[in-house]
Amino acid sequence: MTHAIDTPDQRVHALRQIMTQRNLDAWLVPSSDPHLSEYLPGHWQGREWLTGFTGSVGTLLVTHDFAGLWVDSRYWVQAEQELRGSGIEMMKVDQGQQILAPVDWLDVNYPGPTTLGLDGTVLPLAAYRAFKARLGERVTIKSDRDLLEEIWVDRPALPQETITAHDEAFVDQTRAERLTRLYQAMNEANADTHLISTLDDIAWLFNLRGSDVDYNPVFLAHALVDAHHTRLFIDQDKVSDALHETLADDGVVLHDYADIRDHLARLPEATRLLIDPARVTLALIQALPAHITRVESFQPTTLAKACKSASEIDHVRAAMARDGAALCRFLCWLDMTLASGDALDELTIDARLTAERTREKHFISRSFPTIAGFNANGALPHYRATEAAHSNIEGQGLLLIDSGAQYLDGTTDITRVIPVGEPTAAQKADYTRVLKGMMALSRTRFPEGIEAPRLDAIARAPLWAAGLDYGHGTGHGVGYCLNVHEGPQVISRGAMPTPQTAMREGMITSIEPGLYRPNQWGIRIENLVANRRVTDGTGIDAEAFLEFETLTLCPIDPRLIERSLLRDDEIAWLDDYHRTVFERLAPTLDDDTRTWLEEKTQPLAR
């Protein structure tokens, strides 16, 4: 097939033709790549190419008489709009169930012998096992082809960006030290070899950074590690001669990116291979010889990476101060622009905010696509303004801005809501209840090791008291000059509490409750926090309990606060936070912005 295919219905039709040739009853397309990444290089954005749906999460199932895209509540409005006219049906699903829900649908609607096709290079091993458990022997799963190769004629090539060493000024452990730490964890698991495919784990382990994936300073690679060989599978053209020599000095041997399956197939018979079924793909496991022993365990680097050292937290504090200064300059400009009546739209918000961050030292890029949603657009948790579809900011309403940046010394993620015109009583009440939830969790102390999902209800309680709720999780882990979303901790009622989600000292997590009024407005308030030992000496055992240190430095707009809904202790916390924001940021700001910040951080307790 050599002609261009321009629309989702044409693309699905072409896919069905190939399915017929391959004797497939159904074809599944997850939002995934061979590294199970959140943000995908263009080469693996097949679900978006097929459907036209631009959200980051969704699973497509195509049969010969049906096509459905399963998305959770964050994307229902967006998917309904973007799928219109495509012939693809939006299927609503609970958050976190996108992978299994299409399989459940297939099980009910195709009760006879069925052949399901999928690309095993982008499916987690754990998901494949879940499929088999649900479908049994009645459904044959064929996973050895990528049908998109046969119809996607202008498919983007793999990225070719340069790989660099992470600046030594911001690295607290050498590559050799991190590898030694990994060897120890492998020994404890009774394994002698370890396969790693997740890109942020590889970047962290080898103290390398890249730009193969938008918003994440990572590069395409697999790693195969044992006590005698450390093999890194990458496009070697991305590596300078000097870096090649440095890696070789640490015992790291480079191999071509595409050779990983060949090396897996040649592992010696006595190999005890450590794998994490949730972090490796089916195709890699199918490449393994039958004679090796698989040791299945949680990936050691994932927890080690999540627990930032004291020096890394120090660097993040510095990055937060610079990020906060950029935000204050932007917000000061925004208030002035709104007051002047000059034309303003959602795209301008993103451009101006990014420009302010670009001025800051050690800036790399945004950490995710900026969400700037005015009024009804703000009610879409993952809204993104485009040239073709965006709103002017005028009249009265709420502007939700969720943004973040990558710096050499940290990763940021913050959400603030700005009133345009005079806020209504209903808007202030909604905002204040969300603020109460954010403060409630920010002030919480908890036993070290508690599963992070169990903390979710604390942020929801003030909203629940008013009969309100929100459909997304409350918090996610954040990397250190790495992915803005990282595990293993996640504060979400939709996540399963497991030992792997335990809260540990040094973890950085977002706290971001929200409230969304469809077709009216959206509110979310987000800070990043670090897990630290209890510090105030009140008799609580600091060896057993942790608390949150708020890292984000940016005022919470007082114009939206309904003071009568806040208790005295909540007002005291907010005043203390604003005092800290002013003290940390004021010395770095120009006169106009400092004056603006002083006004925004005045105590509510006056």
pLDDT tens for 420-446 read: 999 999 999 999 999 999 999 999 999
Q: What is the mean pLDDT of the chain?
A: 94
pLDDT for res 149:
93
pLDDT grade, residue 4 (50/70/90)?
low
Q: What percent of the chain has pLDDT over 90?
A: 88
Characterise 52 by phi-psi region: left (phi > 0), alpha (psi -120 to 50), beta (else). Answer: left
Cβ contacts of 97-100, under 8 Å, gap ≥ 24: 97/70, 97/72, 98/30, 98/31, 98/57, 98/58, 98/59, 98/70, 98/71, 98/72, 99/30, 99/59, 99/127, 99/130, 100/127, 100/130, 100/131, 100/134
DSSP one-letter code for 592: H
CATH topology of domain 164-300: Creatine Amidinohydrolase; Chain A, domain 1 (3.40.350)
pLDDT for res 97:
66
Q: Express the helix, strand and coil content of the chain in percent, nearest 5 each.
A: 40, 20, 40
- Read off the tokens for 183: 């060897």
307-600 belongs to CATH 1.20.1050.10? no
pLDDT for res 2:
44
- Read off the tokens for 231: 């093999």
The half-sphere exposure of 67 on its side-chain side, counting CA atoms within 13 A, is 21
Q: How many CB atoms lie within 10 A of CB 171?
A: 20
- Read off the tokens for 197: 């495919």
How many residues would you count in the chain?
Answer: 606
pLDDT for res 1:
43
- Read off the tokens for 327: 């935000």
Listed residue (13, 11, 16) closest to 27, CA to CA: 16
**What distance in Å separates the CA atoms of residue 500 and residue 422, rounded to the nearest whole number?**
46
Whether 373 contacts 346, CB under 8 Å: yes
Task: Indicate if the pLDDT at residue 209 is higher than 80.
Answer: yes
Listed residue (505, 490, 506) closest to 544, CA to CA: 505
Characterise 197 by phi-psi region: left (phi > 0), alpha (psi -120 to 50), beta (else). Answer: alpha
The half-sphere exposure of 290 on its side-chain side, counting CA atoms within 13 A, is 0
162-167-171 Cα angle (round to 5): 125
pLDDT for res 139:
93
Which residue ranges make up each domain of the chain?
Answer: 8-151, 164-300, 307-600
Ranges assigned E (strand) in 193-332: 193-196, 208-209, 222-226, 230-234, 252-256, 272-275, 293-296
Task: Indicate if the pLDDT at residue 606 is higher than 90.
Answer: no
Assess whether the region 8-151 and the region 307-600 belong to the same CATH fold: no
Task: Indicate if the pLDDT at residue 95 is higher than 80.
Answer: no
- Read off the tokens for 210: 């890249």
Average pLDDT value for residue range 279-294: 96
User: What are the pLDDT digits (tens) for 247-282?
Assistant: 999 999 999 999 999 999 999 999 999 999 999 999
User: What are the pLDDT digits (tens) for 546-582?
Assistant: 999 999 999 999 999 999 999 999 999 999 999 999 9
Poorest-confidence range of 336-350, 376-390, 492-506, 582-596? Answer: 376-390
**What distance in Å separates the CA atoms of residue 175 and residue 472, rounded to the nearest whole number?**
37
Whether 429 contacts 514, CB under 8 Å: no
pLDDT for res 227:
83
pLDDT for res 502:
97
Task: Indicate if the pLDDT at residue 96 is higher than 70.
Answer: no
- Read off the tokens for 18: 């190939």
The hierarchical CATH code for the domain 8-151 is 3.40.350.10
Average pLDDT value for residue range 77-96: 86
pLDDT for res 72:
84
- Read off the tokens for 369: 């696509």
**What distance in Å separates the CA atoms of residue 75 and residue 81, rounded to the nearest whole number?**
10
* Close Cβ partners of 151 (under 8 Å, ≥ 6 residues apart): 1, 5, 11, 14, 15, 18
**What distance in Å separates the CA atoms of residue 20 and residue 171, rounded to the nearest whole number?**
53
Ranges assigned E (strand) in 97-248: 114-117, 139-142, 164-165, 193-196, 208-209, 222-226, 230-234
Kindly tell me the burial class for residue 465, based on how many C-beta atoms sit within 10 Å of its own C-beta (0-12, 13-18, 19 or more): exposed
Task: Indicate if the pLDDT at residue 94 is higher than 80.
Answer: no
Task: Indicate if the pLDDT at residue 328 is higher than 50.
Answer: yes
* Close Cβ partners of 431 (under 8 Å, ≥ 6 residues apart): 398, 417, 423, 523, 525, 560, 561, 562
